[in-house]
Amino acid sequence: MAPAFSQVSVTGKTLVCPNATESYAVPSAPGDAYVWSLSSGGTLLNNGAPEVEVKWDTGAPGSGPHLLKVTIQNGNATATASLDVSIQATVPMSCPNKVNISLGPDGTSTIYPQTLLNANLPAYDNFVVEVNDAQGNSYGDQVHCEHIGEVMTGKVTDLCSGNTCWSYLVVEDKSGPTFDCPTQPTPMLCDQDFEQYPHPDCWDNCTNANQLLVVFLGQTIDDSNVCQEVWVTKNWMAIDAYGNESECEQVLKITSPNNVDFPSDTVWSCDTYAAFPNITDAAALADSLSETGSGVPGGVNGLYCAYNFNFSDDTLSACGNSFKIIRTWFVFNWCTGQVLVEDADGDTNEQLIEVMDFTPPELTLDPIILNANLKGSVGMLCRSTGLLPPATVTDNCNGFTTRIYTPVGEAVYVNDEDGAEGGYIPFPGLAIGIHEVTYEATDDCGNIGQKKVLIQVKDLKAPNAICDYITDANLTNEGTIEVFAETFDDGSIDNCCIDRFEVKRMGEPDAAFAPSIIFDCADSEETVVMRVYDCFDNYNDCMVLVQVNDKQAPVCVAPPDLTVDCTAIPVGLELSDSETLTELFGEASASDNCQNTLEELTATGNIYCGDGFINRQFVATDPAGNVSASCFQHITIEGKADWVIHFPADWSGACGGTDDSQGVWFENAGCDLFAVSWSDQFYNTSSDSACMQIIRTWEVINWCKYLPGMTAFAVPHQPGGDSISHVTHGNFSYFTYQQTIELTDGDPPVLTYTGDHEFCSLDDDCATGEVHLPLQVQDACTDDLPVKYVLDLHADGVPDGSGNGIFNGTLPLGEHLLVYEVVDGCGNEADLEVPFSVKDCKKPVAYCENGLIVELSQAGEVEVWAKDLNFNSSDNCPGDLTFSFSPDTTVQALTFDCLDVDDIQYVQLWVTDAAGNQDFCNTWIDIQDNFLDCHPGNNPLIAGTLRTEAGDGVENATVGLNTGQSVTTQADGHFAFPNLTSGGDYTVAPVKDDAPLNGVSTFDLVLISKHILAIQPLNSPYKIIAADVNRSNSVTTFDLVELRKLILHIEDDFSNNTSWRFVKKDFVFQNPDKPFDEIFPETIDINNLDTDLTGADFVAIKVGDVNGNAEASGFTHTEDRSTGKPLQIRLNPQKYAAGEPVVARFLARDFKNMEGVQFTLGFDPQLFDFESFTPGFLTSENVGLRFKNEGKLTFSWH
């Protein structure tokens, strides 16, 4: 039976959701029996156990309470327990818009459902809360300090219905900081600084302790009984980051000690005193040497201490700069009237302070190497009495004396006193080897410092190398000779001893030195280096000129004599062709102790038609110039006749067809020489099968037997051709044979005119012109056909003459017609009409008036006609002349106004004749304002021009004044500001910022690069300013990068510059090669203007254009960007299917020889989509992709 039935209770939820299954339980014990019952509202799902599950009804929201009861029986004992359970009604979910949440002392706060719901429920078991920030992060049902000021939401969810509502949470910190405020007074001694006593520790729930603001509010001091104690009450306030405040009251109890503590005796080092002389002061001890003294009596130095104190010093000198201070302290207790001379520890009021030197001097010196300056004697090597340098000696406080001790005695000092300036090793000196020398320094207080230094005595002097300057070496039969190094010695000497000799060739590395050297046939005059080593590996060199001699001549061996058939001799064999002779008759050989050159001299001989001889001669020469005796080969050549001559068969066919006849051909197995020629006779025929017959006579001559005047043997004609041989006709050397060829032709000749259709009349009477009408005639059969022509003057259909051949003649002006006619040998006819004209091509003679002076009207304008500037211009032909100010004949008048006054206007007078021929002359117009219509009241004006360095006027630039006025320049760059206020101050500032690509090309990149690399500097300050694209007052690669981006259309404008810059014209650059070393004026300032200023001129600079081809007037210039051989770009043609990736590889010839390249590559954007560019010789920096969707890729490289 479970104990204490009276304590049994049912555990489980008392407010449940409809249709929910919940568990309930009571404590269990062995032997207990359980019977559960439910009054209403649900169904028990099990029974008989300490736990039971209840399925609550669906249709009973808001009902209850329902009694859940359990009866527990154990033996005769019975107990009951029950629980009232209600089924939650449907709760309308409503939350306030905003809820303020205050954080607790731990910096957190839990949000409960009832905090947010606008409902008063008996229980909230079926509600949960979730807190989120603005980013959706969940924090469960809690908020923290970091949420202060954040946008937070709290959402309540009804677990029964799933319904929710939410509120904005305003997280606040309302808790002030917490002080660890002491409850009892804090004791202090009187020599402690109560003003600096820190505040008690404090902390806060949301603000770090080091971020709390602690404010001292003030203090009260009770010093009414100083001899007993003083009370100090301090008030503090702590404020957290959210303005919450807390206060603390801190009480300090200050008392005076009953006794004092006299300072202990102190010893200071002299170097510490030198750095911090304050250490001997009667001041309190401190951790920092710069602040400490030697101490004061303890417990007496404070505002509320009951003591007064003073002291007196007695200073005694010690060794060097050392000293001692006897300090006597006087302490008086003004509360008791007692004078203290001893403290509680037995220390008296006398303090000893010593400043002493306990540190010996420090010596530094590197190991020493001395040369053996004493020559050795018999049985003794070299020794040294060299100078031992002084050591570097430092002492912390005092002076010092230096001594030097060597193994052979104390050094002989340079200054005769000590080693401050070093000393010499005493006689007999130190032998070659390593020795220990002691340097010793003693300071004024007797401290001794030592430094053991190793002295190495070495033979540092190289031998004196003496060479036998010129030496002969004769090669042996093997072509080599070995020469030992000492052979080249001519009495070398050393101060100690000589060990060995070595030798190498001049120019070889030192690793090539060896005891001997070998010369061979490749050597002639060789410079060698002999090296002499002493016994300590010191060495010296001298040079020897070795004359290597080869005095043995080579031996020549010719191939054996031969007899050959003439057929073995190639036709046209040249006796000077040694290569062919070697292939035919064998190769000679030669031997020598060295290399040799075998030469075949030009052979001699006599060969005619296969009979004769050849004599070959050889000679061998070695590199030394030794020449062998000549050797010879004799070749005997025997002749042979073995030939057949084949004459061709007759042939017939169409003109231009294939002639199946082979002509004369030979079978020549012998050595006879034949020549072939032919001649043709043409005959017209009217047979049905042909219209032309050719009788072709063939001639064949055997030059081996032919003699001048011989009669030809006529081989009888055979329609199918014939053959003869050396067997049947060997006695003859001259043959003829006739072949018949018949031709048909149905095609007329082809006539082609290749000349001009317009001819000029250049005579003074404008009557006639020379005419030449060339004609090309092509015919399948006949090359030279007769040509006829008919001339129709003025092309009126009436013949005016005829003739034969190509027309050349003098004809009158007008439109004419010539007809060519040709008939070939077969009667085929062809004709060709050639229209042509004879025109007036002579320019008129333009004569100008020598200037014209005109006055402005009262309206301030005047119109000048071009004809007013004509002075008897003339033409050779009749017709009216037209006068204009440009090649455009419609520009026959110009209008001038006040802007043109006082500035000569230079113009061109163009004269055009009736035939359209033009010429011009130059003159000027002076515009005057005699009625002062442009200067009412005689007010002054400012005028000037904007011109490039080349003198071209800049059009459409804006010129402004500081008064706000502005004008636009004319085509000649002129501007003017009339009617200005007299006595005023003015600033003239021109601006032009359009068309940044005007005059800019890759060629400018090339020139700027050459300037940067100092290969070809720009030759004027204005070009250098133009090259400063980014306006950094320097010309660097950054300017190249920005200009290339502009050329490739990656950028539309300069990032930090205008398109044009203007420099005052009369400004003189002090250093034209460095214009940025000074500030050059880009405006003109005028003070107290009282007369006309007509010279406000500027030099215009087009930024980026360093070759000066920008168009200053308008922007219609087409730039010539080719400066040499054009770049040929090749693309291998390929076929692609739709949707297939296309890889187009472009190849350029001689690209590396280009200084710069600029072009645009086009493609059809309807057919191709650009994907990527793979760098090759060009990189991505050289490609502009801005217009890729329009089918254009821009390229610029330099």
Q: How far apart are CA 229 and CA 252, in angstroms?
A: 10
**φ/ψ of residue 584, rounded to 5:** -80, -40
What lies within 8 Å, CB to CB, of 730 at 6+ separation is 641
- For residue range 1035-1053, list pLDDT tens digits in order: 888 888 888 888 888 888 9
Residue position matching structure tokens 């067809």: 657
CA-angle at 1009, arms to 1008 and 1010, nearest 5°: 90
Are 999 and 1109 in contact by the 8 Å Cβ rule? The answer is yes
Q: Which residue has the higher pLDDT, 826 or 519?
A: 519
Residue position matching structure tokens 């079978």: 667
DSSP assignment of 1050-1099, as one string? S-SS-SS--SEEEEETT---SSTT-GGGS---SSEEEEEE-S-B----EE
Please report the sign of the dihedral spanned by the C-alpha atoms of residue 715, residue 718, residue 720, residue 725: negative
- For residue range 820-840, list pLDDT tens digits in order: 999 877 778 999 999 999 988
DSSP-based three-state secondary structure for 619: strand
- Residue whose C-alpha is closest to residue 394's, from 456, 330, 437, 449: 449
Say if residue 500's pLDDT is above 60: yes
Averaged pLDDT of the chain:
86
**φ/ψ of residue 1006, rounded to 5:** -60, -45
Instruction: Give the pLDDT of residue 910.
Output: 94
DSSP assignment of 265-297, as one string? PEEEEHHHHHH-GGGGSSS---SSTTT--S---
Say if residue 773's pLDDT is above 70: yes
For the segment 1023-1035, the average pLDDT, to the nearest whole number, is 92
Alpha helices, H only, 518-597: 578-585
The verdict on whether omega for the bond into residue 428 sits within 30 degrees of 0, i.e. cis, is: yes
Please report the sign of the dihedral spanned by the C-alpha atoms of residue 662, residue 663, residue 667, residue 673: negative
- What are the CA-CA distances from residue 981 to residues 520, 749, 976 (Å)? 101, 89, 14
- Residue whose C-alpha is closest to residue 717's, from 698, 734, 738, 735: 738
- For residue range 534-574, list pLDDT tens digits in order: 888 889 999 989 988 888 889 999 999 999 888 888 877 88
Element (H, E) at 889: none
DSSP-based three-state secondary structure for 904: coil
- For residue range 212-257, list pLDDT tens digits in order: 999 999 999 998 888 888 999 999 999 998 889 999 999 999 988 8
Token duo for residue 126: 């079926």
Element (H, E) at 23: strand 21-25
Q: How far apart are CA 1032 and CA 997, in angstroms?
A: 20
Element (H, E) at 352: strand 350-356
Q: How far apart are CA 564 and CA 267, in angstroms?
A: 126
- Residue whose C-alpha is closest to residue 1159's, from 1126, 1137, 1132: 1126
Region for residue 112 given its phi and psi (left: phi exceeds 0; alpha: psi -120 to 50; beta: otherwise): beta
- For residue range 1128-1140, list pLDDT tens digits in order: 565 555 556 677 6
Instruction: Give the pLDDT of residue 3.
Output: 45
pLDDT band at 1184 (very low <50, low <70, confident <90, very high): low
Instruction: Give the pLDDT of residue 2.
Output: 42
Instruction: Give the pLDDT of residue 1001.
Output: 86
Percent of the chain with pLDDT over 70: 91
- For residue range 322-343, list pLDDT tens digits in order: 999 999 998 888 888 888 888 8
Say if residue 937's pLDDT is above 80: no
Percent of the chain with pLDDT over 90: 42
Token duo for residue 266: 């102190």
Say if residue 980's pLDDT is above 90: no
Structural domains in the chain, CATH included, are 5-87 (2.60.40.10), 98-172 (2.60.40), 178-255 (2.60.40), 266-356 (no CATH), 362-458 (2.60.40.10), 470-549 (2.60.40), 555-638 (2.60.40), 643-744 (no CATH), 750-840 (2.60.40.2550), 852-928 (2.60.40), 936-1102 (2.60.40.10), 1129-1197 (no CATH)
- For residue range 59-83, list pLDDT tens digits in order: 778 888 999 999 999 888 899 999 9
Instruction: Give the pLDDT of residue 625.
Output: 84
Residue 404: half-sphere exposure toward Cβ, Cα within 13 Å: 30
